[in-house]
Amino acid sequence: NAGVTQTPKFQVLKTGQSMTLQCAQDMNHEYMSWYRQDPGMGLRLIHYSVGAGITDQGEVPNGYNVSRSTTEDFPLRLLSAAPSQTSVYFCASSYSGLRRGNTEAFFGQGTRLTVV
């Protein structure tokens, strides 16, 4: 019963490098999203997807790209890493907001990214 799986757990990048954070869920959730967590600021939404082939920007999308080719996977790409992107990144999934009832989000274990 894997739930939401993120890789890697830790990563150090040099300024200007690119990388992809992986996220996979096995709960057949329609909705997936990426958040970043910075000290004292809670979690902020980067990008989200309501289904395969559909993505949209959240609150802080600059410097990040996403794609959703399958229901299960939702990778987050850092195009050219900057020190301001040092943060902890969480992937989350849930049933669609269109469903009645419980749409609680399930979170992955997080990726701690440091950009030097």
Neighbours of 34 (CB within 10 A): 28
Which class for 4: exposed (0-12), middle (13-18), buried (19 or more C-beta within 10 A)?
Answer: buried
Of 86, 94, 93, nearest to 111 by C-alpha is 86
What is the distance between the terminal CA atoms of the chain, rounded to a whole angstrom? 36
Nearer to other proteins, 87 or 94 (CB): 94
> Smallest distance, Å, CB 97 to other proteins?
3
Scanning residues 36 to 95, which ones bind other proteins (CB under 8 A)?
A: 40-45, 48, 50-51, 56, 58, 90, 92, 94-95
Q: Mark 96-115 with x for binding to other proteins (rule: CB under 8 A) and - for no binding.
A: xxx--xxxxxxxxxx-----
Assigned token pair, 67: 């794609």
Q: Which is nearer to other proteins, 17 or 58 (CB)?
A: 58
Check: CB of residue 77 under 8 Å from CB of residue 61.
Answer: no
- Nearest approach, Cβ of 16 to other proteins (angstroms)? 28
In the complex, the residues that contact other proteins under the rule CB under 8 A are: 30-31, 33, 35, 40-45, 48, 50-51, 56, 58, 90, 92, 94-98, 101-110
